[in-house]
Amino acid sequence: MPEFLTILIAAIIIILILVFCLRIVPQGSAFVIERFGRYNATWQPGIHFMIPLADRVARRVLLKEQVADFAPQPVITKDNVTMMIDSVVYFLIFDPKLYAYGVENPIMAMENLTATTLRNIIGDMELDATLTSREAINSRMLATIDAATDPWGIKVTRVELKNIQPPAAIRESMEKQMKAEREKRAAILTAEGQKQSMILEAEGRKESAVLNAEAAKQATILAAEAEREKRIREAEGQAEAIRQVHQATADGLKMLKEAGADDTVVRLKSLEAFQKAADGQATKIIIPSEIQSIAGLAEGIIEATK
């Protein structure tokens, strides 16, 4: 029985020693191990065995990318304007040993380095350039801070200016300037709109005048064509009437000729012509003797027929 208890106690002690000596490093982390006060190894994720009373975990290091949000820092521009600027630094630890032994407080050291670098960069720039050159400032800060933090085992991946706060008086002046600029742009846009409207209206009037002139020209052409057609029709009617008159006269003469009364008919026609002449305003008409004899003959014929 005592031997059994001894074995049990020994087994419990061995289990406790194993539990105490075994260490599990989680994923995304690393342990810096010291043996008798000196750096011994860097444990990566997994199971590791620690020698009791000899080894100790000097530092647990997070290997994931981390974000350091630093408080606003007062900076002075080249034109003596004091602003408050806060920055954000994205970094990761690539060497746990350097991170553990390179500097006493790496995050504080990086914050101070960021503040001094920001002051140096902003000090060479004027206010307007500072407000419009964030990308350039971020790039310069990233290059400077990344180079300075390499001995600390820190890799800076990105630096961003989170907020830039000029003094209240400058902010009010900028707001007034922006308001004036917006009003100016609004006035320019209004004037451009009015100008465009006037141009379009003038073009509309011009187009209307052209269309009216074209319509008037077309109407004049149509009226002239109608008048010409009318005159042509009238001339054709008169010509047709004259032709018919001449045709009737020719037919009458032909009939008289066929009846054998050429000279007599001619003389009668002459008499009719003198008769028509006598119907006018003439007070004296001279009639040839031949026509007079024919007239007497005609009167005799008329009397005999009564």
| The pLDDT value given to residue 153 | 93
> What per-residue confidence (pLDDT) applies to 110?
92
Strand partners, 38: 35
Query: Coil, strand or helix: which one is 156?
Result: strand
The CATH number given to 66-166 is 3.30.479.30
pLDDT of residue 258: 67
What 209-213 contacts at long range (C-beta under 8 Å, 24+ apart), as own/partner pairs, is: none
Distances (CA, A) of 95 to 60, 66, 91, 148, 286: 12, 14, 12, 15, 154
All structural domains of the chain with their residue ranges: 16-62, 66-166, 177-271
Residues in the chain where the model's pLDDT stays below 50? 277, 291, 294, 297-298, 300-302, 304-306
Separation between Cα atoms, residue 252 and residue 264, nearest integer Å = 14
**Phi and psi torsions of 124, nearest 5°:** -95, 5
The structure tokens 């009216």 sit at: 212
Q: How far apart are CA 306 and CA 302, in angstroms?
A: 7
DSSP lists the bridge partners of residue 160 as 88
- Surface-to-core class of residue 183, CB atoms within 10 Å of its CB (0-12 exposed, 13-18 middle, 19+ buried): exposed
Cβ-based neighbours of 188, under 8 Å, separated by 6 or more: none
- Residue ranges of alpha helices (H) inside 87-167 are 96-101, 106-123, 127-132, 134-149
Q: Which CA distances in Å does 232 have to 222, 226, 242?
A: 15, 10, 15
pLDDT in tens, 266-280: 555 555 555 554 555
Which residue type sits at 74? P
HSE on the CB side for 129, CA within 13 Å? Answer: 12
